Amino acid sequence: MTTTPLAPVDLFATALHIGRDGQVVASERRMAAAGPGSWHLAAFHAETDADVHADHWEMHPEADEAVCCLTGAVRLHFRPTEPGGAEETVRLRAGSAVIVPRGRWHRVRLDAPSDLMSLTLRQGTRHERIEGQGEHAE
């Protein structure tokens, strides 16, 4: 049996990576995938739209994403699923969350400075500038 030292983890400085085998490791915060099958739990403070990359769409092809608003208020915008369709918007207040479906392009905009938490399988995550330039995968 492996023993993990019992100590607090600062979720605003590190992320939790949850492996397929159920092992949870606190390590460097990075938005890229930590390895195949590794889930990523991260909390972050956002003061401005730039802190949440509001100028980019994001999509996770391998899994749903839970986006949680711990404090403040945010709007999640979802790209239309049909050509010519309208964006959908979900407003989150402190203590609420939304499940972003796997493969659904989304972005975040702040209504107030906020503390957010997300949980997803980051493998294959893609970003695309709203203007349609600069798409890349992780």
Give the start-to-end residue ranges of the domains of the chain: 43-132
Strand bridging mode 136-137 / 126-129: antiparallel
pLDDT score recorded for residue 1? 43
Average pLDDT over residues 115-131: 92
Kindly report the backbone phi and psi dihedral angles of residue 119, in degrees, each rounded to the nearest multiple of 5, phi listed first: -140, 120
**Ramachandran region, residue 69 (left: φ > 0; alpha: ψ -120 to 50; beta: rest):** beta
pTM of the model: 0.85
CATH of domain 43-132: 2.60.120.10
* pLDDT bucket at 27, cuts 50 / 70 / 90: confident
Q: Which comes out higher in pLDDT, residue 35 or 63?
A: 63
How far apart CA 109 and CA 128 sit, in angstroms, is: 15
